[in-house]
Structure 1
Amino acid sequence: MSRVQSNTADLDVDLRTLFGSLLRRWKRVLGVSVVVAAGTYGLASLATPQFRSETRLTIEGRESAFTRPNTATQAEPQPMDAEGITTQVELIGSSSILRKVADDLNLQTRDEFDEARNPSAVSKFLIETGLRTDPASMPVEERVLQKMRDKLSVFRVEGSRVIVVQFSSEDPEVARNVSSAIANAYLDVQRDTKLSSNTDATTWLEPEIAKLTGEVKEAEAKVAQYRAQSDLLIGQNNSVLATQQLSELSTELSRVRAARSSAEASAASVRTALQQGRSLDSIPEVLQSPLIQRLRERQVQLKTDIADLSTTLLENHPRVRSLRSQLGDLDGQIRAEAQNVLRSLANEADTAKLRENELVAQLNAQKDAAAKAGEQEVELRALEREANAKRDLLESYLGRFREASSRRDGNYLPADARVFSPATTPIEPYFPKKVPITVAAFVASLLLMSVLTLLSELFSGRAMRPARSAYSEPVDDVIAAAPPVATAEPVAPLALPAPRPQEATPVATTQVPEPKSGEIGIVRAAQRLVTGGTSRAVVISPEGDEAAAVSVLVAREVADTGLRVLLLDLSSSGAASRPMLDGVGFPGITNLLAAEAQFTDVIRAEHYSDCHVIPIGTADAAKAMRAADRLPIIMSSLTTAYDLVVVECGPIDAEGIERLVGEETSVLVSVLSSEDESVTKTVLDLKERGYEPLLVTPAGYRAPLPPKTDRDAA
Structure 2
Amino acid sequence: MSVQSAAADVDVDLRQLFASLARNWLRILVVTLVVTGAAFAFASTATRHYKAQAQVEIIPRESVYTRPAGNNDTDKPILDESGIATQVQIISSNDILKQVAQKLDLAKLPEFDEAAGMSSLSRLLVLVGLKSDPMDIPVDERVLKKMREKLNVYGVEKTRIIAIEFSSQDPMLAAAVPDAIAAAYIAGQGTAKLESNAAAADFLAPEIADLQQQVKAAEAKVATYRAQSDLLMGGNNSVLATQQLAELSSELSKVRGNRASAEATADNVRKVLRNGGSLDTVPEVLSSDLIQRLRERQVELRSNIADLSTTLLGNHPRIRALKSQLADLDAQIRGEAEKIIKGLLAQADTAKARESQLVADVNTLKAASARAGEQQVDLDALQRDAAAKRQQLELYLTNYREAASRQDRKYLPVDARISSKASVPSEPYFPKVLPIVSAAFVASLLIMAIATLLQELFSGRAMRPAAGAGFEPIDEVAMPVVRQEPATLQEMGEYPAEAVVEPDKAPLPYTTAMPETVASDMAEAPGMVAVPEAVPAERIADEIEPARSSLGEIDIEKAAEKLIASGAARAIFVSPEGDEAAASAVLVAREVSDAGLRVLLLDLTASGAASRPMLDSGLFPGITNLLASEAQFSDVIHADLYSDCHVIPVGTADPVRAMRAADRLPIIMQSLTTAYDLVVVECGPADAQGIGRLAGDATEVFLSMLEPDDEVAQAAVKLIESGYPDLTLVTPLGHEPPGNPVPGRRSAA
Is TM > 0.5 for Structure 1 vs Structure 2? Answer: yes
Give the letter for the 2:188 counterpart: V
Alpha-carbon contact 1:51-1:169 (below 8 Å) kept: yes
The aligned counterpart of 2:698 is 665
1:471 pairs, out of 468, 471, 484, with 468
CA distance 1:18–1:244, shift in 2 (3 Å)? closer
Q: Distance in 2 between matches of 1:459 and 1:310?
A: 161
Matches within 5 A, 1:574-613: none
The aligned counterpart of 2:219 is 220
CA distance 1:429–1:282, shift in 2 (3 Å)? same
The aligned counterpart of 2:192 is 193
Alpha-carbon contact 1:49-1:170 (below 8 Å) kept: yes
What per-residue deviation string (whole Å, max 9, x for no partner) do you get for residues 513-540 of structure 1? 898237679xxxxxxx9xx997899xxx
Q: Distance in 1 between matches of 2:226 and 2:276?
A: 66
CA shift at 1:14, angstroms?
Answer: 4.8
Q: Which moved more, 1:387-396 or 1:512-521?
A: 512-521
The aligned counterpart of 1:284 is 283
What per-residue deviation string (whole Å, max 9, x for no partner) do you get for residues 129-149 of structure 1? 433212222222221111111
Give the letter for the 2:351 counterpart: A
Q: Distance in 2 between matches of 1:460 and 1:320?
A: 167
Alpha-carbon contact 2:9-2:469 (below 8 Å) kept: no
The aligned counterpart of 1:416 is 415
Q: Distance in 1 between matches of 2:459 and 2:288?
A: 150
The aligned counterpart of 1:305 is 304
What per-residue deviation string (whole Å, max 9, x for no partner) do you get for residues 70-99 of structure 1? 526995222122222222222111111100
The aligned counterpart of 2:28 is 29
Give the letter for the 2:237 counterpart: N
CA distance 1:133–1:288, shift in 2 (3 Å)? same
CA distance 1:104–1:326, shift in 2 (3 Å)? same
Matches within 5 A, 1:511-530: 516-517=547-548
CA distance 1:178–1:291, shift in 2 (3 Å)? same
Q: Distance in 1 between matches of 2:421 and 2:567?
A: 78
Q: Distance in 2 between matches of 1:397 and 1:436?
A: 65
Matches within 5 A, 1:131-142: 131-142=130-141
CA shift at 1:404, angstroms?
Answer: 1.5
Give the letter for the 1:195 counterpart: L
Structure 1 unaligned segments of length 5 or more: list them: 1-7, 475-511, 522-528, 538-639, 641-662, 670-694, 704-714
Q: Distance in 2 between matches of 1:73 and 1:700?
A: 112
CA shift at 1:64, angstroms?
Answer: 4.7
CA distance 1:520–1:449, shift in 2 (3 Å)? farther
Q: Secondary structure at the match of 1:21?
A: helix
Identity over aligned pairs, percent: 53
CA distance 1:455–1:222, shift in 2 (3 Å)? closer
CA distance 1:696–1:260, shift in 2 (3 Å)? farther
The aligned counterpart of 2:107 is 108
Matches within 5 A, 1:36-55: 36-55=35-54
Q: Distance in 1 between matches of 2:206 and 2:120?
A: 66
Q: Secondary structure at the match of 1:516?
A: helix
The aligned counterpart of 1:563 is none
The aligned counterpart of 1:235 is 234
The aligned counterpart of 1:167 is 166
CA RMSD of aligned residues (A): 3.6
Q: TM-score, normalised by structure 1?
A: 0.64
CA shift at 1:21, angstroms?
Answer: 3.4
The aligned counterpart of 1:85 is 84
CA distance 1:536–1:406, shift in 2 (3 Å)? same
Q: Distance in 1 between matches of 2:454 and 2:365?
A: 119
Q: Distance in 1 between matches of 2:349 and 2:442?
A: 127
The aligned counterpart of 2:148 is 149
CA shift at 1:102, angstroms?
Answer: 0.6
Q: Distance in 2 between matches of 1:187 and 1:336?
A: 107
Alpha-carbon contact 2:100-2:181 (below 8 Å) kept: yes
CA shift at 1:100, angstroms?
Answer: 0.4
CA shift at 1:66, angstroms?
Answer: 4.6
Q: Secondary structure at the match of 1:155?
A: strand
Q: Distance in 2 between matches of 1:458 and 1:72?
A: 77
Q: Secondary structure at the match of 1:281?
A: helix
CA distance 1:519–1:323, shift in 2 (3 Å)? farther
What per-residue deviation string (whole Å, max 9, x for no partner) do you get for residues 106-162 of structure 1? 111222111211223443343344332122222222211111111111122334333
Q: Secondary structure at the match of 2:279?
A: coil
Q: Secondary structure at the match of 2:51?
A: strand
Structure 2 unaligned segments of length 5 or more: list them: 1-6, 472-541, 553-562, 572-673, 675-695, 703-715, 725-749
Q: Which moved more, 1:350-359 or 1:209-218?
A: 350-359
Q: Secondary structure at the match of 1:117?
A: helix
Are 1:700 and 2:697 an aligned pair? no
Tell me the number of residue pairs that the alignment of Structure 1 and Structure 2 aligns: 500
The aligned counterpart of 1:429 is 428
CA shift at 1:454, angstroms?
Answer: 4.1
Q: Distance in 1 between matches of 2:466 and 2:252?
A: 127
Q: Distance in 1 between matches of 2:366 and 2:11?
A: 121
CA distance 1:35–1:281, shift in 2 (3 Å)? same
The aligned counterpart of 1:387 is 386
Q: Distance in 2 between matches of 1:132 and 1:265?
A: 123
The aligned counterpart of 1:396 is 395
What per-residue deviation string (whole Å, max 9, x for no partner) do you get for residues 354-395 of structure 1? 222222222233333333333333332222222112111111
Give the letter for the 2:376 counterpart: E
CA shift at 1:666, angstroms?
Answer: 5.1
Q: Distance in 1 between matches of 2:90 and 2:257?
A: 84
Alpha-carbon contact 1:172-1:426 (below 8 Å) kept: yes
Q: Distance in 1 between matches of 2:150 and 2:465?
A: 63
